[in-house]
Amino acid sequence: MSANESAETRLYPPPAEFAAKAAISGMAAYKALCDEADKDYEGFWARLAREHVVWKKPFTQVLDSSNSPFFKWFADGQLNVSYNCLERQIEAGLGDKTAIIFEADNGDVTRVSYRQLLAKVCQLANGLKKLGIKKGDRVIIYISMGVEGIAAMQACARIGAIHSVVFGGFSAQSIRDRINDAGAVAVITADEQCRGGKNIPLKPAVDEGIGLGGCESIKNVIVFKRTGGPCNMVAGRDVWWHDVIAGQPETCEPEWVDAEHPLFLLYTSGSTGKPKGVQHGTGGYLLHAILTMKWTFDLKPEDIFWCTADIGWVTGHTYIAYGPLACGGTEIVFEGIPTYPDAGRFWKMIQDHKVNTFYTAPTAIRSLIKAADTNPAVAPTKYNLSSLRLLGSVGEPINPAAWTWYHQNVGGGRCPIVDTFWQTETGGHMITPMPGATPLIPGSCTLPFPGIMAAIVDETGTDVPNGNGGILVVKKPWPAMIRTIWNDPDRFKKSYYPADFQGKYYLAGDGAIRDKDSGYFTITGRIDDVLNVSGHRMGTMEVESALVAHPKVAEAAVVGRPDEMTGEAIVAFVVLRGSRPTGEEAKKLVAELQAWVGKEIGPIAKPKDIRFGENLPKTRSGKIMRRLLRSLAKGENVTQDISTLENPAILEQLKVSV
């Protein structure tokens, strides 16, 4: 590569040794799968579903589009996800193989075999049944990373209960809203969680959430004793995990469910304040979890696989709780944070456990770059990372500089990087390299997964030529896709199959561009009012609603701005009920409002920058000019026409960060 050539155009072909052993080896093999899907779309998915999933009752129908966009896949087939993850492996002779290597926050390591995990799951499943929890009931799981969280998800899947995991950093209000929307009958939680050397309470948030009202559906709260910290137990409602499993047999016949039976709900931020309960089915979701493990991650029987996500996010569902286990893999589950006891924690764990595949988010990579620059002792190059053969990136687009650092310093220049684009709604990878086939370009998620018909269109749904930016859509339904929004089918249609595209295309909500020459996709960011902070979706409306709920706030508008560390940072423009504060008073109020949003939604939603104005920039019809606010947030000079602005003087006020 010549010195004047930009890094973004450099092609990194798959290493020959990797390609030789890969599940999809070379571009011809990738193209053959895409051609098969093109020629006979249903036949392609049916073949894969028969080859990779164990069915109790085989399906005869593949895709049912009769009530589109409420598509059904393999609808008359019956299966159980937990059986496919556990017994299936034991029957294949993997009973003593390590399923999970759990490393606690304090460094203690526990290994759990497939046989042990099955016993754990069955005992809990039997205990849940004894409490009266049955097929179709919704169960909220609010617990930290550990074997118990995965066992809880698997136990729900085993009895046909629908789980909804809530990230352990979310607030009491968030728990209340999810219990209320899902009509959940039980919550599975722990007394505390351990993160960064601290014990952080979990159970009090559940109590507070239920106390906010609207949670009358809850009959039981099951509490795992993680630390033995103080824990209020409500008589008749709360029960300890160890009491639930006491005396329960270690076998439990799976509940065989239809392929379309909901496996889980996962709430995600929309552009309106109310979180959306994304509903996933069973058969199609499991198929995609398996295929992406085998093809994107090229999982080998001897691999140690580590996805650093939390089970509170979809990445932790597909690539911790289900995908690796359904493929008979061994995976790392980590309780702590990447910077405790120091920022070398990830690298030390890769070295200690001889991890082969490492899958993390660009925000984590960027913060570890900074840590290594500040303290060279925790740089990845100080550790033995020779076991790595594949790296992955997830949650947000990775910038070329972070990609190159990751490739050189963590992967030693020898490991392909799978930069995976997908969403809570898609169930698994949509656009991603195949590590043994796709030449890589830093910053690009490259080409669609075989069978995924991704395209870029304009506002009318017309394809745009390569080299032009537009709106990312998927033209055909796929097995792992969202089925509906829980209790809100109209919102599902409006959000994902809008009338602009005659209700035919799935709208991802992201802008994208395809390279003129290679046809590779690059994601350019959200097209709606949803921010992506450290890979977590945050509705602007959600943050605005939380701010306005504060007694001192009259009005608020929230936008995103690019941020080196988190991808996007939240900037809030606030109008107070009293006069506009300055100096120390303003600083104090910023801290107060940040803490308030943290309590209302969770720490992830705290605005990085809060600015005060006597008013917000509005058109004469009263519409907030968010485009203007985005420019102000970035520190740009406002060049747009402001003749329709009611009061142009407030722009000067809003330029100023406190």
The 10s digit of each residue's pLDDT in 410-428 is 999 999 999 999 999 999 9
- Longest distance between any two alpha carbons in the chain, whole Å: 74
Nearest of 484, 428, 604, 486 to residue 140 by alpha carbon: 486
Which tokens sit at 256? 């065989």
Contact in structure between 360 and 333 (CB atoms under 8 Å)? no
The structure tokens 């966009």 sit at 69
Task: Report the pLDDT value the prediction gives residue 577, as an integer from 0 to 100.
Answer: 83
For residue 161, the one-letter residue type is A
Which tokens sit at 121? 């799951």
Task: Supply the DSSP symbol for 314.
Answer: H
Task: Supply the DSSP symbol for 532.
Answer: E
Task: Supply the DSSP symbol for 420.
Answer: -
Contact in structure between 273 and 539 (CB atoms under 8 Å)? yes
For residue 58, the one-letter residue type is P
Contact in structure between 370 and 380 (CB atoms under 8 Å)? no
Give the C-alpha separation, 607 to 592, whole Å.
11
Nearest of 604, 534, 101, 105 to residue 345 by alpha carbon: 105
Task: Report the pLDDT value the prediction gives residue 651, as an integer from 0 to 100.
Answer: 86
Give the C-alpha separation, 630 to 619, whole Å.
16
Task: Supply the DSSP symbol for 465.
Answer: P
Per-10-residue mean pLDDT of the chain, 658 residues long, equals 44 97 98 98 98 98 97 98 98 98 98 98 98 98 97 98 95 95 98 96 97 98 97 98 98 98 91 83 98 98 97 97 98 96 97 98 89 94 98 91 95 98 97 98 96 94 92 97 97 93 92 93 82 82 85 90 90 91 94 94 93 83 76 82 69 85
Give the C-alpha separation, 483 to 261, whole Å.
10
Give the C-alpha separation, 527 to 519, whole Å.
21
Prior bond of 58 cis (ω within 30°): no
The structure tokens 């030449």 sit at 439
Task: Report the pLDDT value the prediction gives residue 234, as an integer from 0 to 100.
Answer: 98
Contact in structure between 7 and 442 (CB atoms under 8 Å)? yes
* N- to C-terminal Cα separation, the chain: 45
Give the C-alpha separation, 455 to 478, whole Å.
14
Task: Report the pLDDT value the prediction gives residue 344, as an integer from 0 to 100.
Answer: 97
Task: Report the pLDDT value the prediction gives residue 8, as an integer from 0 to 100.
Answer: 53
Q: Which helix (H) or strand (E) holds 327?
A: none
Task: Report the pLDDT value the prediction gives residue 271, as an integer from 0 to 100.
Answer: 62
Cα distances (angstroms) measured from residue 87 to each of 3, 98, 148, 255: 55, 14, 18, 13
Task: Supply the DSSP symbol for 578.
Answer: S
Residues with Cβ within 8 Å of 427's Cβ and at least 6 positions away in sequence, in order, are 280, 284, 285, 288, 289, 314, 318, 480, 481, 482
Assign 257 to helix, strand or coil: strand
Task: Report the pLDDT value the prediction gives residue 392, as an integer from 0 to 100.
Answer: 98
